[in-house]
């Protein structure tokens, strides 16, 4: 059985494909530049077919405007490394889930001042009245100001202890 980590980051088996994966994995999310597409679990597959490098990505949500920038960056980083023929394909099924975000990614997100998504199905933390943890002071006394923050995949919260507003990367 595959572990969650193996599902989240399906690194290829061959050395040639792994080398191309490692390059593609350096591309960051333009909306949250501390997170790479590998941290996010957006990078789904890298395959070398003949002289073509095929890269598959799953956007964090449908219609995510960051996808075009990620696609361009993947092509650029691979071109710069000498791969001439690069094809980037968006794969929508299975849909991306915040569960694919790496632990390291969640930590970087908090350090960047964005509350990391709670594991799916725990919507939990909210319904139990525990709130979303403030990335600045760690308080759970926070409240939602707007369902949509700086981008549609984030909600805007404010901490009632330190009074700082912050984005919450919504779980889905
Ligand atoms: Zn706070």
Give the distance (Å) from ligand 1 centre to CA of residue 13. 43
From 97, 130, 161, give the residue that closes a domain.
97
Residue 107, domain member (yes or no): no
Residue 126, domain member (yes or no): yes
Give the distance (Å) from ligand 1 centre to CA of residue 160. 7
Give the distance (Å) from ligand 1 centre to CA of residue 147. 19
Task: Report the mean per-residue pLDDT for the chain.
Answer: 88
Question: pLDDT-derived band of residue 63, with 50, 70 and 90 as boundaries?
Answer: low
Q: Count structural domains, the chain.
A: 2
Q: What is the pLDDT of residue 130?
A: 58
Q: In what order do the strands lie in the sheet with 43-49?
A: 43-49, 52-57, 85-90
Give the distance (Å) from ligand 1 centre to CA of residue 82. 46
Same domain, 21 and 74: yes
User: Which residue blocks in 41-91 are alpha helix, DSSP H?
Assistant: 66-80
Alpha carbons 128 and 112: distance in angstroms, whole number: 26
Check: pTM over 0.85? Answer yes or no. Answer: no
Which residues does residue 168 pair with via DSSP β-bridges, in sequence order?
115, 155
Question: pLDDT-derived band of residue 3, with 50, 70 and 90 as boundaries?
Answer: confident
Give the distance (Å) from ligand 1 centre to CA of residue 167. 12
């Amino acid at each position: 059985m595959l572990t969650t980590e193996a599902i989240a980051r399906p690194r290829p088996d061959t050395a040639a494909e792994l080398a191309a994966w490692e390059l593609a994995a350096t591309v960051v999310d333009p909306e949250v530049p501390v997170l790479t597409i590998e941290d996010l679990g957006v990078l789904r597959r890298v395959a070398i077919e003949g002289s073509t490098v095929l890269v598959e990505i799953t956007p964090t949500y449908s219609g995510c405007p960051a996808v075009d920038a990620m696609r361009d960056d993947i092509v650029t980083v691979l071109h710069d490394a000498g791969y001439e023929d690069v094809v980037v394909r968006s794969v929508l099924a299975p849909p991306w889930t915040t569960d694919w975000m790496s632990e390291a990614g969640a930590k970087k997100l908090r350090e960047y001042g964005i509350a990391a998504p709670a594991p799916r199905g725990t919507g939990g933390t909210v319904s139990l009245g525990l709130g979303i943890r403030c990335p600045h002071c760690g308080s759970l006394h926070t409240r939602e100001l707007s369902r949509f923050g700086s981008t549609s995949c984030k909600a805007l919260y404010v901490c009632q202890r330190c009074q700082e507003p912050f984005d919450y990367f919504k779980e889905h």
